[in-house]
Amino acid sequence: MTPEAQKYFDEAEELFKKEKYEAATKAYAKSIAAYPTLLAYLNQGSSLFTISKSAEASQAFSDGLSLAREKKDTRFEGVFLSNLGFINYIKGELESALEYFNQALEIFRKTRQRKDEAEQLGNIGAVYQDLREPEKALKYYNDALNRYKESGYQEGAANQLNNMGLLHVILGEIDVARTYFDEALDIFKKLEHKQGMAAQLANIGTTCRDKNDRDNALKYYNEALATCREIGDKRGEATQLSNIGYIYAINAEPLTTVEYFSKSLDLYKEVGATAEIEMLQENIAIITSGVLSGN
């Protein structure tokens, strides 16, 4: 890298750290113009994607991919392919996403980068899930889980267990889903990963709710709520308050339901969750109308 390119690259990195992504993309572009590097293309694409400029991000990753192939850098080639797959996945272009993820998978298998291989297997599983091919999705999810375990990356293993549990919920296999959520929770507890713990506690609460075990549903939702509050996750806190309110609604306790829904609504307003705000406002209005009319 030339001194000029390095100067602009360092400037871009500082801007990126300060979350000034728009300015960072311009600095990365200047660095690339002075001397194109794989890392500059990668970080430029990441910055562009962060500010929702997916087309420009895709171009940056494509340019980086071409340079990686020119330099025969398989590590970066795999990363660029994976990122392009992710952009296509977000856009709903699932077949294209699958093609990119499979190319990345092939590279990481050859280079025996287990963690990266596991990530691609999980990505492919997600595509098949969206294509409504659950058997294929579960196969790839399970392969990803095994690779994460082989690599020793426990957080990745826990996240994969979560994905498998969620798919079994969709399939109506609640008891099977519960086993995956329990295992994921155990790992997150060992890692002291509070965000992961909160998600699994909520998932387990939902499995209890779906089996009409309302007391345990409340127990797990309240544990998830406490964990969200501990880490300052307001959106998560709002979600758990809403979940708790829903249980009280099932229990035909309208006043308590409105109390929890109202607390949830206030937090959703703080984080600007438009869809959740509209849903809760509608639910509160329906419940309040019923209480006032004596129904």
Q: Which whole number is the average pLDDT over 171-176?
A: 96
SS3 121: helix
Q: What is the pLDDT of residue 289?
A: 82
Q: What is the pLDDT of residue 290?
A: 67
Q: What is the pLDDT of residue 280?
A: 94
State the Cα angle at 125 between 63 and 148, rounded to 5°: 85
**Residue 215, pLDDT above cutoff 60:** yes
**Residue 182, pLDDT above cutoff 50:** yes
Percent of the chain exceeding pLDDT 70 equals 98
Q: What is the pLDDT of residue 294?
A: 46
Q: What is the pLDDT of residue 1?
A: 80
Q: Sign (positive/negative) of CA torsion 263, 269, 273, 275? A: positive
Distance CA 161, CA 187 (A): 10
- Cβ atoms of 221 and 240 closer than 8 Å: yes
Q: What is the pLDDT of residue 261?
A: 96
pTM for the full predicted model:
0.84
Q: Which two three-digit tokens encode residue 160? A: 């994969």
| pLDDT tens per residue, range 1-29 | 889 999 999 999 999 999 999 999 999 99
- Cβ atoms of 248 and 257 closer than 8 Å: yes
Q: What is the pLDDT of residue 295?
A: 45
Percent of the chain exceeding pLDDT 90 equals 95
| pLDDT tens per residue, range 145-162 | 999 999 999 999 999 999
| pLDDT tens per residue, range 49-71 | 999 999 999 999 999 999 999 99
Q: Is 149 exposed, middle or buried (0-12, 13-18, 19+ CB in 10 A)?
A: middle
DSSP-derived letter for residue 256 is H
Averaged confidence pLDDT in the chain:
94
Distance CA 234, CA 270 (A): 8
Q: Which whole number is the average pLDDT over 181-193?
A: 97
